[in-house]
Amino acid sequence: MAQAFDAAAQQQELVARAEEALTLAKKLGADQAEVGASVDQGLSVSVRQGEVETVELSRDQGIAVTLYVGSRKGSASSSDASSASIKAAVEKALSIARYTGEDPAAGLAEASLMATHLPDLDVHHPWALDTERATELALACERAGSEVAGIHQSEGASLSSGEGVRVYANSHGFVGTQKGSSHSLSCMLIAQDEHGMQRDYDYTSARDPRALRDPQSVGREAARRTLRRLGAKRPPTGTFPVLFDPSLASGLVGHLMGALAGGALYREASFLCDKLGEPLFPEWFSLEERPLEVGAMASSPFDGEGVQTRHNRFIEDGRIASYMLSSYSARRLGMTTTGNAGGARNIRLEAPQESLEALLSRMGRGVLVTELMGQGVNSVTGDYSRGAAGFWVENGQIQYPVEEFTIAGNLMTMFKGLQALGDDIDTRGSIYTGSWLVDAMTVAGD
């Protein structure tokens, strides 16, 4: 029973609101202004042990105004986009701007960089889903997982579907709009043996509901992932090769992108400060961003400040070819923006790939890591130490599950020591990568 969501009308309304805020900001004395506004609506149904557990209808909206008086900046936001709230937000942002300091790097991105090529990237696929249908799909997913022998109980399955509209406009006259959707189905299960309980999960997510995996396969995969953890031991302490599964390898790419981000660089809070042009990975490894890929998770023709996005190559033949910059961080570093206000969009790797079997065989003896816990990554130094769970590997064969150990090293040595990439590419997020085999890390276990 989802409420009707007229994306086109919502978009028109948001554009009108944004323009109202910009006009008002100018009238009240701002030299430059920018507005971001969004409306999202969704339905989420979760089931547990064959029964509906929660039905949640969400509808979120917000408008955020940033304005500049000379080189002083003020921001205000509200969850209510009425004229009165917009006026209050603009006035508040202006009053705040009186107290912030002069910042020569502050301001909008240059007008000449505003996106003019605004193709439809096919990321809006609403799903006319009612509570009954959502419940059926979640139940089917859970049932398929719970039926697998050895599964002790279900933590539930849940189906979420949502769509939304976002608008970014600024006083250069740029108005960018985007409609988007995302849908996901997940299942978490528990298995038990004499040593205790283990849980794991699986999920599928996509912008187009037709691209979701079928519910039964998600349930069965959740069961497989849960059961394989039973009987886990602790691995030996020592230095071993580590194979990161694809979802964790994408986390390593995330750490890389965080360290390449302008905000971390000008704050000297990145282990990649002053490393532009230097080798970081083996020569066979390149990494790029494809913001205009049709239908992908993070596709957009303009970035968070209206700048035309572009095909950036961040790692070229193992070397750092580009940092990842917004106009502000670019000015701070004496460079030009790479169209990355708001982050990277659709990261793709260019490197030879091998099957998981080949990677295991190449590893010989070591640990296949399938779960990481904790926040032990120091972005200033690259030092890395995290809790892990996975499988012990001998002679290229998985021997038994392992848990309650840590893996430690430094991201720079880990990147340098990358041995090979898997062809088991995870396409659920905006970073596509297969498994990563890293030559040596310290494993602390028994």
Which residues, 221 to 240, sit near other proteins by CB under 8 A?
229, 234, 237-239
Q: Is 78 in the site for other proteins (CB under 8 A)?
A: yes
Q: Candidates 164-172, 311-319, 351-359, 373-381 — which segment interacts with other proteins by CB under 8 A?
A: 373-381
Q: Is 376 in the site for other proteins (CB under 8 A)?
A: yes
Q: Is 83 in the site for other proteins (CB under 8 A)?
A: no
Q: Candidates 80-88, 298-306, 309-317, 338-346 — which segment interacts with other proteins by CB under 8 A?
A: 80-88
The CB-of-413 to other proteins minimum distance in angstroms stands at 10
Q: Is 135 in the site for other proteins (CB under 8 A)?
A: no
The CB-of-268 to other proteins minimum distance in angstroms stands at 5
Q: Is 334 in the site for other proteins (CB under 8 A)?
A: no
Our measurement of the distance from residue 325's CA atom to the centroid of its chain's CA atoms, rounded to an integer in Å, reads 17
Q: Which residue has the tokens 């890395």?
A: 384
Contact between residue 187 and residue 222 where contact means Cβ atoms under 8 Å apart: yes
Contact between residue 33 and residue 65 where contact means Cβ atoms under 8 Å apart: yes
User: Among residues 54, 86, 266, which one has the least CA distance to residue 157?
Assistant: 54
User: Among residues 301, 306, 274, 300, which one has the least CA distance to residue 66?
Assistant: 306
Give the Cα-Cα-Cα angle 84, 87, 92 (nearest 5 degrees): 125
Distance, CA of 32 to CA of 55 (rounded, Å): 43
Please tell me the count of residues contacting other proteins according to CB under 8 A: 78
Q: Candidates 262-270, 280-288, 306-314, 356-364 — which segment interacts with other proteins by CB under 8 A?
A: 262-270
Residues within window 9-48 making contact with other proteins, judged by CB under 8 A = 48
Residue 115 or 280 having the CB closest to other proteins: 280
Residue 357 or 446 having the CB closest to other proteins: 446
Contact between residue 93 and residue 77 where contact means Cβ atoms under 8 Å apart: no
Distance, CA of 164 to CA of 158 (rounded, Å): 20
The token duo for 42 is 């969704």
Q: Which of 131, 216, 361, 427 binds other proteins (CB under 8 A)?
A: 131
Write the binding mask 392 to 411 for other proteins: x where contact by CB under 8 A, - elsewhere. Answer: -----------xxxxxxxx-
Residue 60 or 283 having the CB closest to other proteins: 60
The CB-of-303 to other proteins minimum distance in angstroms stands at 19
Distance, CA of 302 to CA of 174 (rounded, Å): 10
Distance, CA of 207 to CA of 205 (rounded, Å): 7
